[in-house]
Chain A
Amino acid sequence: MSLDTTLQDKAFKSVGTRPTRPDGVDKVTGRARYGADFNMPGQLVARVLRSPHAHARIKSIDTSKAEALKGVKAVITSADLPDLSNGDEGLFATLDNCMARDTAKYDGHAVAAVAAIDEKTATAAMKLIEVDYEILPHVVDVDAAMAPDAPLLYDTVFTSGIEPAPTTPSNVANRAELGHGDVEAGFAAADVTVERSYKTEQTHQGYIEPHACVASCNPDGTAELWVCTQGHFVYRQKCAELLGLEVSKLRVTSSEIGGGFGGKTHVWAEPVALALSRKANRPVKLVMSREEVFRASGPTSATSIDVKIGATRDGRITAASATLRYTNGPYADMWAELGAMTAFACYDLEHVKTVGYEVLVNRPKVAAYRAPSAPMAAFAVESAVDELAAKIGMDAVEFRIKNAASEGTRSSYGPVYGPIGIGPTLQAAKDHPHMNAPLGPNQGRGMACGFWFNFGGQTCSDLNINADGTVTLAVGTVDVGGSRASLSLVAAEELGIDYQDVKAVIADTATLGYNDMTDGSRGTFSSSMATISAARNAIQIMRERAATMWDIPVEDVYWEDGHAHAAGQNHGNRAPLSVKEIAAEAGNTGGPIAGHSELVADGAGVSFATHICDIEVDPETGSSRVVRYTVIQDAGKAVHPSYVEGQYQGGATQGIGWALNEEYIYGADGRLQNPGFLDYRIPVCSDLPMIDTQILEIPNPNHPYGVRGVGETSIVPPLAAVANAVSNAVGVRMSHIPISPPRILAALADAQDG
């Protein structure tokens, strides 16, 4: 990487201000085009037939009646998406999830699809497809799936990560162990120990825009895909691999995206739309219904977690351990291991051990959801930490401050930390007026910490200096929450020009080099690095052009405040040249001026947050209401503080919903009972108070401006903060999320009986 990422000690002019976003007017006037807002000539409409069974062998599929229906242009099954994975298990899982092969593995699993001239015809055709299922026993609960007599999803899965390898198959795909020290010795040294089991239910990212795409395959092998995605380059790669297309011939354009939170990092319907288009030789539009979104895309894991933590009477943790069991859906991944890595990341522990089990169940394939796997682990650990603090009679914040990780601490997932923000967020919480505000009747206060890694990745940007001196910034990381504004600020900062003179756009896959997805809180972190690099390259060219215009050596030209300056005694009286003046002469000084950048933006700083939550509980009904909420999080450097606050507030709210009401509810038949926004209860406007935020800026030493990712960490603490608040309000430890009214009321009744 050519970019010097050394942290600059500089006063910012643009970065840190709050200008309006470049896509604002389009979005408030209804002109912005999302996934379903695009059409192509001759476009067909697709519908996907989905399994009504949680687990069933597909004995046969008869599509003849559907194909015979007038207006139907293509019907596909797995035969039209042949296995090209060549031993790549991850790719095969993606393929099988997009279109079931021999077995349907969950309620909602795609088994066939239709493209027809309109939706009505497509729906009629879909209902004419005859699938002969042999219903198989199913399992959806994480603990039930681990039982020795559980129905098996596969008889070929033998838990990896265990020595010696098991000889009988199970639903546990992998066991992963992390940690350091000797936890048994650590527990022996403890005066007080807390040990408890926790459960969390499965939640969905709940983005308001359902998955939507328009696919168009041409007979010459070229293809176009318009799609709402967090990463159009990744979608291009996956679709090309799954369909056997040449990457260069598949052009993917990312629409405006109506939320993703990890759920739009995985392909679901896009390969199906392309396969339909290839068969029908017409463009195909595929828009999932809300029910399909819930049944067949993106949920996170349901979990079952045991935590044990010991401490001395003076408040020092001596050892901590956790066993984490995460559902993966039908395909093995690393969700429990991620939970195991993050579980104790906030603390400085001499002895720590975490074990993660990846559990296969008849639920949809788990997708990343904002700091994937961390919120559930934090719920369990932060609940136990609170309980332990109470047991030794220490204030919950003090106890955490005493045990917080800091620079030089060996993290529970292995590496030693550089400068980190957990201590400062805790100190800020301690000092925050919220922490000492009086509570009303039936109210409880809880606080909790959270951690997320953040990461960077492959990034490519173009920065074009236009003839009038304005700047077009083309980036390849999808803007999901205002990053075009942030990146324009960064370009303006580096070039020394006005924010208003920069226009950032998201380029399609044919017009820019590869970019990783907007995930892992990497969008602004990575693309700001690429933007800085591109700007510096453009400045280099502008210095050369100024030198040409002045007819002096380029070494004598330096860049400052958006102008080329002639340095030294010989050229001292030349008036500086602005970007505008240099751009105006570009045609005669060497042609267009642009800065390009291709880099790997590694070195994303880890991120910590501390949340404070006040809850009021109605002891007669178990109803609960968040009455005050504060988020304190380290941003490294907040490029556009309004959108940083927005990330904090949005993450907190998703976490509050997860904690209190959201859950996948399955019937005894293994079918999802609440695939809609009526009964999958995400927070509504009247459920919440204002969400206060406090941005801390502990610079990331690996970014020129100190930026850290900010998008994900904010969803990590709320489950625990809410649980601690409710537990404090009702005097009963709440260990099962969501903490719904029936669970609160049942806990109160148990406490009374006990």
Chain B
Amino acid sequence: MSSIAVSTTINGDDVEYLCQPDETLLDVLRNRLGLTGAKEGCGTGDCGACSVVVDGRLVCSCLVLGAEAEGRSIETIEGMADGSELHPLQRQFIEHAALQCGICTPGFLVAAKALLEQNPNPTETEIRFWLAGNLCRCTGYDKIVRAVQAAAAEMRGEPA
């Protein structure tokens, strides 16, 4: 089995790597590129901890082959903050205590950001269904939903 050379864009940077044909994008990110913010909770697309955005679409990186990234644009949790400036979602997650163990947090943040880019004013129900593919076992989701609502309001420019 020979390796495949892949040229892609990750968080705005040109990146090249070699990967095996059966290697997932998640494994490439974590094991070859040192981007361990995406987590493997299941490897089968059921937990959302490995969420990334590929060409504008939210996906589980465990269900994408590394080879498929050729020519695409990938966004991961590592690219979410603007330098030292946290994204409003990141800040609101901290302020709302929306994380306990934190293993699901990168996936939730990537997913929530994708939601707010598409729907800046989601209802609680819309938030809950959009995030249904992200499992959290610690929080009961209450504070996560509230943090997303708060970030959405902040991004719409509404007073806190």
> Within the complex, are A and B direct neighbours (CB within 8 Å)?
yes
- Which residues of A approach B to under 8 Å, CB–CB? 18, 20-21, 23-25, 27-34, 36-37, 120, 205-210, 256-261, 287, 289-290, 480-482, 640, 642-643, 645-646, 649-650, 652-654, 676-678, 682-688, 690-691
Cα A646 to Cα B137 in complex, Å, equals 11
Q: Residue-by-residue, is B89-119 near A (CB-CB < 8 Å gives 1, otherwise 0)?
A: 0110111110111111110010000000000
Nearest chain B CB to A54 CB, angstrom units: 24
Q: Residues of B contacting A688 with CB < 8 Å?
A: 128, 140-142
Min CB–CB distance A644 → chain B (angstroms)? 10
In B98-156, the 8 Å CB interface with A consists of 99-106, 109, 125, 127-129, 131-146
Please, which residues of chain A bring their CB within 8 A of the CB of B78? 29-30
B38 sits at the interface (CB 8 A): yes
Provide the bound-state CA to CA distance between A640 and B94, in Å: 14
Task: Report Cα–Cα, A140/B104, bound state, in Å.
Answer: 33
* Sampled A-B contacts (19; CB under 8 Å): A25-B90, A27-B102, A28-B109, A29-B77, A29-B86, A31-B37, A207-B137, A208-B47, A208-B135, A289-B43, A481-B138, A482-B100, A646-B100, A646-B139, A650-B137, A650-B140, A677-B44, A686-B125, A690-B142
* Residues of A contacting B145 in the complex (Cβ-Cβ under 8 angstroms): 685, 690
Which of the residues B81, B101, B105 comes within 8 Å of A481, measured between beta carbons?
B101
Please tell me if the beta carbons of B100 and A481 are within 8 angstroms of each other in the complex.
yes
Known contacts A23-B102, A259-B103, A676-B42: does B128 contact A29 (CB below 8 Å)?
Answer: no
Within the assembled complex, what's the spacing in Å between the Cα atoms of A257 and B39? 12
CB–CB A259/B101 < 8 A: yes
Q: Are A290 and B99 neighbours in the complex by a CB distance under 8 Å? A: no
A-B interface contact total, Cβ < 8 Å? 178
Q: Is the interface of B mostly helix, strand, loop or mixed?
A: loop
Say yes or no: A643-B47 contact (C-beta < 8 A), given A209-B103, A691-B140. Answer: no
Q: Cβ of A256: which chain B residues have Cβ within 8 Å of it?
A: 101-103
Interface string of B36-73 (1 = CB under 8 A from A): 11111111101101000000000000000000000000
Instruction: Indicate whether B6 reaches chain A with its CB closer than 8 angstroms.
Output: no
On chain B, the residues within 8 Å of A20 by CB distance are: 94-95
Number of interface residues of B (CB under 8 A): 57
Task: Collect the chain A residues with CB atoms within 8 Å of residue B103's CB.
Answer: 34, 207-209, 256, 258-259
Question: B106: which of A30, A207, A684, A686 is its contact (CB, 8 Å)?
Answer: A30
Q: How far is the CA of A289 from the CA of B27 in the complex (A)?
A: 13
On whether the beta carbons of B97 and A482 are closer than 8 Å, the reply is yes
Complexed CA–CA distance, A28 and B106 (Å): 6
Most buried by B among A205, A480, A643, A686: A686
Indicate if the CB atoms of A678 and B101 lie closer than 8 Å: no
- Complex Cα distance A700/B81, Å? 42
Bound complex: CA of A215 vs CA of B49, how far in Å? 25
A411 to chain B, nearest CB (A): 29
Contacts of B86 in A (CB 8 A): 25, 28-29
A24 touches B94 (CB 8 A): yes
Interfacial chain B residues near A652, Cβ < 8 Å: 140
* Cβ of B12 to closest chain A Cβ, rounded Å: 16
Within 8 A of A (CB), among B17-44: 20, 30, 35-44
The residue on A at minimum CB distance from B49 is A208
Nearest CB in chain A to that of B94: its residue = A24
Q: Which of B44, B137, B144 interacts with A208 by CB under 8 Å?
A: B137
Distance in angstroms from B58 CB to nearest chain A CB is 14
Cα separation A256 to B103 with both chains bound (whole Å): 9
In the complex, the answer to whether B137 meets A654 with C-beta atoms within 8 Å is yes
B101 near A257 with CB under 8 A, answer yes
A645 to chain B, nearest CB (A): 8
B135–A684 contact, CB under 8 A?
A: yes
**Known interface pairs A209-B101, A649-B139, A677-B46. Does A29 touch B81 (Cβ–Cβ under 8 Å)?**
yes
CB-CB nearest in chain A for B144: A685
Q: With a CB–CB cut-off of 8 A, which chain A residues contact B109?
A: 28
Judge whether B139 and A686 touch: CB under 8 Å: no
- Cross-chain contact B97 with A643 (CB below 8 angstroms): yes
* Shortest CB distance B126–A (Å): 10
Query: In the assembly, what is the distance between CA of A649 and CA of B44, in Å?
Result: 27
B76 at the interface (CB under 8 A from A): yes
Q: Are B38 and A30 in contact (CB under 8 A)?
A: yes
**Which residues on B sit within 8 Å (CB–CB) of A260?**
101
Known: A261-B137, A481-B138, A685-B132. A30 touches B37 (CB 8 A): yes
Q: Which residues of B contact A31 (CB under 8 A)?
A: 37
Chain A residues near B41: list those with CB within 8 A: 208-210, 258, 290, 677
Min C-beta distance of B88 to chain A, whole Å: 11
Given the interface pairs A259-B101, A676-B42, A690-B142, the reply to whether A684 lies near B132 with Cβ below 8 Å is yes
Q: How far is the CA of A259 from the CA of B138 in the complex (A)?
A: 7
Q: Report Cα–Cα, A744/B86, bound state, in Å.
A: 47
Would you call B142 and A649 a contact (CB within 8 A)?
yes
Cα–Cα distance between A643 and B99 once the two chains are bound (Å): 9
Contacts of B100 in A (CB 8 A): 259, 480-482, 643, 646, 650
B141 touches A676 (CB 8 A): no
Q: Which residues of A contact B102 (CB under 8 A)?
A: 23, 27-28, 32, 256, 258
**Cβ–Cβ contact A685 & B128, under 8 A:** yes
What separation, in Å, do the CA atoms of A676 and B29 have in the docked complex? 23
Evaluate contact between A676 and B97: CB separation under 8 angstroms.
Answer: no
| Min C-beta distance of A198 to chain B, whole Å | 25
Question: How many Å from the CB of A227 to the closest CB on chain B?
Answer: 15
Most B CB contacts (10 A, CB to CB) among A208, A256, A683, A687 go to A208
Residue on A with the closest CB to B141? Answer: A685
Chain A residue numbers with a CB within 8 Å of B40 are 36, 210, 287
Q: Is the CB of A646 within 8 A of B94?
A: no
Given known contacts A28-B105, A685-B145, is B77 in contact with A21 (CB within 8 Å)? no
**Which residues of the partner chain A approach B104 to less than 8 Å between Cβ atoms?**
208, 258
